[in-house]
Structure 1
């Protein structure tokens, strides 16, 4: 059966899935439940290496969505729009207006972004040379593991940072205004403080106490 030209996206998707679900109904003598169909169709593919950066307890929905899109290289940076064949008068970064706005540049190579990320790392008592997008993502994938307070803060900080940079970029593009790095940092600190206020933290642990002090948690 050929797909109807005027069929909706949902119908086309369902029809394309026929071969995947045929074995569920062929030769069966009892009714199927939607639960059975769903469980059978679930992909058994291994998790991606970065899944713990995007999906974790305490995540902020709009923050993790932007990070997810960034990891998949789906954010419409000016360089990406140009690659897609869309005419762009100025492809340079909206923060520095010197280098083409690639994903790596806007998040970790532009001075505005680099100074913001460095300040966040300092609040976590981490000193390291900041490189490019792939390098920072690989570092985060490797290091942001476990359930310690520092790991949870780093995950929130990373997602909040990527969201914050992208929001400031859009504010500059569509509103002509950009906040200072310090203002953006304070906004990220406020977000994390609010999230941390609901956590049960062992303040007898000196490292936890130091983290809370740096982020302004009483």
Structure 2
């Protein structure tokens, strides 16, 4: 890499132009030492610019188009690109609660430090592993698929909160929830936005309850966790501009939202 110090030592500065790199015969005049440090300069071809053009710096993107240089263009050129995922808009959307979305992202990626994940770290501690069980239901070792929402405790919470939205066909299995996300991720309908908020909040507060019981010895009942989820979603909905949506009356009535509230359009 040509460092600013080496550039300055060679007599160039921020005001130097392309013409400053050419001699009177139109040949490169790189410092001799640079050819040893940067052999690529030896084979660098030279296209003499028209005298009518203004000397300027340009950036060639991956498609070969000349663009104005910017950090954004650099990022697009060097970042790893992958196939778009179907659930992205399920997690990140304009009305989301960021900490809930981050939690849901971890759940989808199966990156939570659940007990089934810890077994990889504690391969030599079989006694401790056998003693592990789900802090919520006291049965089975907790895992992503168990906590969301096959666990007896989590299943009751999920049944309570999904009754608030149009998710009657979604069961307690993570496979059923994943299938629903794939189908509805890109929807911007008000009722589907509410479903997204409920699902993210449910994963957030179930995980929070699991950790509270495991590390703080604090316990909430099914009803208490359910109310946490409902109250959080209700408060978020109070920031929406609900008028004008076909589901307005049903959502306002279902979630008991005061008709005053509303300053953001979820569409």
Greater per-residue helix proportion: 1
Structure 2, unmatched stretches of 5+, are 1-42, 47-56, 59-68, 259-267
Contact 1:93 1:99 in 2 (8 A): yes
CA distance in 1, matches of 2:253, 2:138: 37
Larger radius of gyration between Structure 1 and Structure 2: 2
Alpha-carbon distance, 1:43 to partner? 4.0
Which of 141, 160, 174 is equivalent to 1:119?
Answer: 160
Instruction: Tell me: CA distance 1:97–1:202, structure 2 relative to 1, closer, same or farther (3 Å).
Output: same
Which of 53, 69, 74 is equivalent to 1:37?
Answer: 74
3-state SS of the aligned residue for 1:200? coil
Instruction: Tell me: CA distance 1:78–1:208, structure 2 relative to 1, closer, same or farther (3 Å).
Output: same
Q: In the alignment, what sits opposite 1:139?
A: 180
Range 86-95 or range 97-106, more displaced = 86-95
CA distance in 2, matches of 1:108, 1:71: 13
Q: CA RMSD in A?
A: 2.5
3-state SS of the aligned residue for 1:123? coil
Q: TM-score normalized by structure 1?
A: 0.79
Q: Which has the higher contact order (CA 8 A, sep 6+)?
A: 1
Which of 257, 261, 264 is equivalent to 1:217?
Answer: 257
Alpha-carbon distance, 1:27 to partner? 5.4
Contact 2:87 2:185 in 1 (8 A): no
Which of 84, 87, 98 is equivalent to 2:139?
Answer: 98
Mapping for residues 1-218 of structure 1, pairs under 5 Å: 30=57, 33-85=70-122, 87=125, 88-89=128-129, 90-128=131-169, 130-202=171-243, 205=246, 207-218=247-258
Alpha-carbon distance, 1:144 to partner? 4.3
Contact 1:145 1:151 in 2 (8 A): no
Alpha-carbon distance, 1:125 to partner? 4.3
Q: TM-score normalized by structure 2?
A: 0.65
How many residues are paired up?
A: 193
CA distance in 2, matches of 1:28, 1:172: 67
